[in-house]
Amino acid sequence: MIDRVHLRVPGVSLLLDTRDADVRVAHWGADLGQHGDRLDPAVLTASAAHSAFDEPAPVSLIPQPARAWRGTPGIAGDRLGRAFSSRLVLQDVSVERQDDAGSQRARLVLTDEASALRVDVELTLDATGLLLIDQRVTNTGDDVYAVAALDTTLPVPGQATESLDLTGRWAREKHPQRRRIDQGTWTRTGRHGRTGHDSTLVIAAGTPGFGWQHGEVWAVHLGWSGDHSSRVERAGDGQTVLAVGELLRPGEVELAPGETYVAPTAYAAYSAHGLDGVSSRFHEWLRSRDRHPSSPRPVVLNTWEAVYFNHDLTVLTQLADAAADLGVERFVLDDGWFLGRRNDTRGLGDWFVDPDVWPQGLTPLIDHVKGKGMQFGLWVEPEMINEDSDVAREHPEWIARPNGAGGRLSLPWRHQQVLDLVDPDAWDYVYARLDALLSEYPIDYLKWDQNRDQVELGHEGRASTHEQTLAVYRLLDALRAAHPGVEIESCSSGGARVDLGILQRTDRVWASDTNDALERQSIQRWTGLVLPPELVGSHVGPGTSHTTRRTHDLSFRAITALFGHFGIEWDVRTLTDAERSQLSAAIRFYKENRALLHSGRAVRIDRPDYTDAAYGTVSHDCSRAVFVYAALATSPNELPARLRFAGLDADRDYRVGLGLPLDPHAAEGRGVPPWLRAVADAGADGAPVVSGRALMQVGLPMPGLHPEHAVLLTVSAV
Ligand code: GLA
């Protein structure tokens, strides 16, 4: 058998050492070039293979105690207390080139006769540099094997001394946490039965002080919407690994003879150029998928913060008129349209249009919306059930109960329980209802919500988060197959289901229930570490945020929302003339620039002062860019540091202009640098032409903005 596998695309190499019937990652990181093919992994190995415990051994791709690893094992399980420790032996390795773009895939087969297991591993190094790892374990024995874990583990080199993960809560998702990597294990678990508000999008490690633009960074994401764990672990011998995997509860996955457990795909990105480089691999891979949304992302109006549950055809028709006048392209009717749903205590599960509120069904509204040239979207929450609903009264057995039929209910959350989608009858019912709605009405879009944690989720007395997650995926897949034109948004009390598992079957996420632009600055920045902006819903809310009571000028709200899939969540019937013209201008800018915003390379600038932020999108040919400079808080300095742009072509000249007029309140009584004053006063004629080198090395002075204000800059090669 071959003794090494070298997968390589520009910028990244993965060198596997396959000697001694084991698999070890000799190197995952910087591109080794052709030389990597000839590099003997033995040269990189600090010690011999696992011959004795008293000799430190290189960690295996699937770390096992039987391979001298004393950290967290990559595989765990048992047969009622027997065969609990496996020693996997490599049986087969094959490598294939996937496509002309250069993707390569290694397939590995490992078995253990004593514990009667076969593990298949596929490592795909995509042309974008993203590494996809798929693992599955098959029970080749003749009795039941209970799977406790099958994690994806990747070693990172010693120069990675700092870790990064994200956390959050409702309306404050995706906040970064940095730590020094010491010996021991830093584990982030998600036990919410859904991805979770606090789920870390990635577990990352990097060289000291790594930032958006600098440092070597290794990051791993798990594409899974159920329970999961992510960790960075430095063992006593100094080896450091990043690991992710589904978190399984006792008895949750038991394999009968011949059965297979398929672990969720893990996605791993290495970059020598900071977090932006990591991000770019995720973005480009997501964009290369056949089913990545390819049509211009329409301007959305969502009714939630405009009318909440008060559905009234006259009001909604007026709202649609006002939206259409502004240039909205998709009108989304949020919660409140189905049987008995006048508030959030009732109705979930009764997916019939409520005749009391909608005597002629949704047709009059949909006709009106379509007549105005807009798409129509509808909110649903198919995985949930209110105890106060007809369906719960008729089928109490469809409510998931931790300990099986007749047992106690789990605690409610927002007055709701989980519909047990592992029950085929419940699944068929909800599929049939959604299919009927999508067949009866010309619906273009579903906002698919999921509004509770599903802790202690059970089916027939067995933990069922794993099966429920797969049932949800099947439901989405089946509806998509039956209604291929319908787009679906993944919402989960805001951003509690943002992962690449759900995104394989949905078209965007709702990043957060907060439309507060200040909160959104951070939420969108960090959601954008993995997701490109076209997949991240981002709305202009009312002047005073409904979730935080902060008040922001429209310029800050609009500029913030432009860096996503832009929309509005505000009663636009009530706008002043000034607000209407300001919002229209933002919508025009979005429409003119969305092709760039949704295809360009995301750039985030490392600023010397945490009180401001700068970021942008640069076209791949470096000819155009849009940048934002935002003040997030008051600064200790009167003058902000110059904005040093990034991602441009050093050898070209650029004209720097304003994307939207400078908000007169934004820098009132404070410094507006002369170049910006000239642009604000004279438009394109006043715009300076500066070389890319000067923009990136020296930078331009920025205005001393009041906190929570921003300017939108355009950069075009001349
Ligand atoms: C959740 C969503 C909101 C809205 C409400 C409706 O909280 O995140 O955007 O759709 O449900 O009940």
| Catalytic residue of the set 513, 516, 553, 663 | 513
| Residue range 39-53, pLDDT digits in tens | 988 888 877 667 788
Ligand 1 site: residues with CB under 6 angstroms? Answer: 304, 334-335, 344, 379, 449, 451, 491, 493-494, 510, 513
pLDDT mean across residues, the chain: 96
Determine the Cα–Cα distance for residues 567 and 270; give it in Å rounded to an integer. 33
Categorize the per-residue pLDDT at 685 as very low, low, confident or very high, splitting at 50, 70 and 90.
confident
One-letter amino acid at 148 equals A
| Catalytic residue of the set 423, 449, 453, 499 | 449
Averaged pLDDT for residues 539-568? 98
Asked if pLDDT for residue 100 goes beyond 90, the answer is: no
Determine the Cα–Cα distance for residues 287 and 426; give it in Å rounded to an integer. 35
299 closest CA partner among 554, 514, 572, 490 = 572
What's the full length of the chain, in residues? 718
| Residue range 459-472, pLDDT digits in tens | 999 999 999 999 99
Element holding 262 (H helix, E strand): strand 260-262
449 is catalytic: yes
Categorize the per-residue pLDDT at 328 as very low, low, confident or very high, splitting at 50, 70 and 90.
very high
Categorize the per-residue pLDDT at 670 as very low, low, confident or very high, splitting at 50, 70 and 90.
confident
pLDDT at 53: 83
Testing ligand 1's pocket by substitution, the residue of 304, 342, 344, 523 carrying the most ligand atoms inside 8 A of its CB is: 304
Determine the Cα–Cα distance for residues 337 and 333; give it in Å rounded to an integer. 8
| Residue range 112-137, pLDDT digits in tens | 999 999 999 999 999 999 999 999 99
CA-proximal residue: ligand 1, atom 5 (nearest) = 335
| Residue range 147-201, pLDDT digits in tens | 999 999 999 999 999 999 999 999 999 999 999 999 999 999 999 999 999 999 9
Report the separation in Å between the CA atom of 401 and the middle of ligand 1, taken as the mean of its atom positions.
Answer: 24
CA-proximal residue: ligand 1, atom 4 (nearest) = 304
Averaged pLDDT for residues 249-274? 98
CA-proximal residue: ligand 1, atom 7 (nearest) = 493
- Please say whether the beta carbons of 57 and 34 come within 8 A: no
Determine the Cα–Cα distance for residues 704 and 103; give it in Å rounded to an integer. 47
Burial of 361 (0-12, 13-18, 19+ CB in 10 A): middle
| Residue range 582-619, pLDDT digits in tens | 999 999 999 999 999 999 999 999 999 999 999 999 99
Q: What CA–CA distances, in Å, run from 439 to 302, 337, 341?
A: 22, 17, 22
Asked if pLDDT for residue 474 goes beyond 90, the answer is: yes
Report the separation in Å between the CA atom of 86 and the middle of ligand 1, taken as the mean of its atom positions.
Answer: 46
Averaged pLDDT for residues 71-98? 94
CA-proximal residue: ligand 1, atom 1 (nearest) = 493
Quick one: tokens of 599?
Answer: 């295809």
Categorize the per-residue pLDDT at 315 as very low, low, confident or very high, splitting at 50, 70 and 90.
very high
Report the separation in Å between the CA atom of 538 and the middle of ligand 1, taken as the mean of its atom positions.
Answer: 14
Report the separation in Å between the CA atom of 412 and the middle of ligand 1, taken as the mean of its atom positions.
Answer: 17
Beta-carbon count within 10 A of 359 CB: 10
Angle of helix 424-440 versus helix 465-482 axis, rounded to 10: 30
String of DSSP letters for 191-209: -SSSS-TT--S-EEEESTT
| Residue range 19-29, pLDDT digits in tens | 999 999 999 99
String of DSSP letters for 451-487: -S--TT-EETTEE-HHHHHHHHHHHHHHHHHH-TT-E
Categorize the per-residue pLDDT at 317 as very low, low, confident or very high, splitting at 50, 70 and 90.
very high
DSSP 8-state secondary structure symbol assigned to residue 237: T
Determine the Cα–Cα distance for residues 214 and 208; give it in Å rounded to an integer. 10
